[in-house]
Amino acid sequence: MHILLTGAAGFIGSHVAERLLARGDQVLGLDSLNDYYDPALKRARLQRLQGQPGFRFVQCDLADRAGMADVFAGPRFDRVIHLAAQAGVRYSITHPHAYLDANLTGFGHILEGCRTQQVDHLVYASSSSVYGGNTKMPFAETDAVDHPVSLYAASKKANELMAHAYSHLYRFPTTGLRFFTVYGPWGRPDMAYHLFTRAILAGEPIAVFNHGDMQRDFTYIDDITEGVLRVLDKPAPLSSAGAAPYRVFNIGNSEPVQLLDFIACIERALGKTAIKQLLPMQAGDVPATYASTQALQDWVGFVPSTPLAQGIARFVHWYCGYYGV
Ligand SMILES: NC(=O)c1ccc[n+]([C@@H]2O[C@H](COP(=O)([O-])OP(=O)(O)OC[C@H]3O[C@@H](n4cnc5c(N)ncnc54)[C@H](O)[C@@H]3O)[C@@H](O)[C@H]2O)c1
């Protein structure tokens, strides 16, 4: 298949690209290579893809209307995997425009491109953050998600609404994936596990928000890529009854972990104790996430299951090799 993969130099995107190329798909990777975090890491991920048969790369900003129209003016994509976005909850408090440009305007350009090309399936990244401060656990796709607590979360929920409108109007299947805190090798330097690892190794204090009283459903990267590929291969059917070919699924480990237990897991993998600086809750954060994965299981017969200790050990192994520590 000929696939457009946005966010190809990103954490999840680069792993998805590896899997697509390994099974023989033709991939056009798109990324702006922006400096939200160290672009050298993005280039290093990209370097592993460039030179592999079937991979091409275009540097483009999602918000660049003419640039995105050019991308879709080329040969038709069978499917589009849209992972590029301005990620991060906390950054959305200080840099709202990055989210408006990439996640709203940019997503609109993706939908328009898919419409003009009538692609067979658009799979895009949503987020567990759409559940906001919901207290009913585990979070299920049928729960109301009308109370986001950050602009990031609101932009992801908006993407789901926009996708539904296009699926309904133009009859092309869209599937949104609500990722739950993804971690693993080549992971993002702005995320807690990466920040914790760096600080613990350097003997510096780590910031523990809400005094450690938080739970996250940490999901290993290989489980995410498996889920993305399985979902990609199973678009919603075009029903004659007129229902929009639209789906949304959680992809999470379905096993929430206390933040302090998570830190202890990293400490064990590093063989070093963290200096914890207990701080209040940060604006935009939610106290807990916990994915129901029943809908994903029913749809593609797969759910994430990598144990945290195993995933963290692989992350630490990569971290020490990549950063030479
Ligand atoms: N990692 C997680 O825990 C997690 C959780 C929930 C949702 N998500 C979502 O999954 C997707 C991938 O996340 P990730 O962790 O790989 O993040 P990432 O930041 O590593 O990857 C995103 C990529 O998109 C690119 N990008 C950002 N803005 C762009 C723009 N305007 N134009 C073109 N490219 C742009 C970045 O350069 C980056 O390489 C994102 O949509 C994110 O919101 C991630």
Domain ranges of the chain: 2-180+221-251, 192-215+254-290+305-323
Place of tokens 């908006």: 158
CA–centroid distance, 86 to ligand 1, in Å, is 6
Active site residue 152: yes
186: left (phi over 0), alpha (psi -120 to 50) or beta: left
- For residue 85 and ligand 1, the question of a CB distance below 6 A is answered with yes
Q: What residue owns the CA closest to ligand 1's atom 38?
A: 10
Structure confidence at residue 242 (pLDDT):
80
Which residue among 31, 80, 195 is best mutated to probe the pocket of ligand 1, counting the most ligand atoms within 8 A of its Cβ? 31
> Cβ–Cβ contacts within 10 Å for residue 144, how many?
9
Structure confidence at residue 239 (pLDDT):
81
- For residue 106 and ligand 1, the question of a CB distance below 6 A is answered with yes
Place of tokens 């408006």: 100
Q: What's the predicted TM-score (pTM) here? A: 0.98
What DSSP string describes 139-190?
A: B-TTS-----SSHHHHHHHHHHHHHHHHHHHH---EEEEEE--EE-TT--TT
Q: What is the mean pLDDT of each run of 10 residues along the chain (325 residues)?
A: 98 98 98 98 98 97 98 98 96 96 98 97 98 95 96 98 97 97 98 98 97 96 98 92 92 97 98 97 93 98 98 98 97
Structure confidence at residue 211 (pLDDT):
95
CA dist., res. 88 & res. 28, Å (int): 25
Q: Are strands 121-127 and 79-82 parallel, antiparallel or unpaired?
A: parallel
Which residue among 36, 59, 83 is best mutated to probe the pocket of ligand 1, counting the most ligand atoms within 8 A of its Cβ? 83
The residue among 89, 185, 203 whose CA lies nearest residue 194 is 185
- For residue 315 and ligand 1, the question of a CB distance below 6 A is answered with no
The strand order across the sheet containing 55-59 reads 55-59, 26-31, 2-6, 79-82, 121-127, 174-179, 246-251
CA dist., res. 142 & res. 13, Å (int): 27
CA dist., res. 86 & res. 94, Å (int): 13
Q: Which of 36, 37, 152, 193 is catalytic?
A: 152
Which residue among 71, 131, 179, 190 is best mutated to probe the pocket of ligand 1, counting the most ligand atoms within 8 A of its Cβ? 179
- 10 contacts: CB under 8 Å, gap ≥ 6: 31, 42, 45, 83, 84, 87, 188
- For residue 62 and ligand 1, the question of a CB distance below 6 A is answered with yes
- For residue 83 and ligand 1, the question of a CB distance below 6 A is answered with yes
End-to-end CA distance of the chain, in Å?
40
CA–centroid distance, 84 to ligand 1, in Å, is 4
- For residue 11 and ligand 1, the question of a CB distance below 6 A is answered with yes
- For residue 181 and ligand 1, the question of a CB distance below 6 A is answered with yes
Taking every pair of C-alpha atoms in the chain, what is the biggest distance, in angstroms? 62
What's the CATH number for 192-215+254-290+305-323?
3.90.25.10
CA dist., res. 266 & res. 269, Å (int): 5
Task: Establish whether domains 2-180+221-251 and 192-215+254-290+305-323 are of one fold.
Answer: no
Q: Between 3.40.50.720, 3.30.1490.20, 3.30.360.10, 3.40.640.10, what CATH number should domain 2-180+221-251 receive?
A: 3.40.50.720
CA–centroid distance, 216 to ligand 1, in Å, is 19
CA dist., res. 208 & res. 196, Å (int): 9
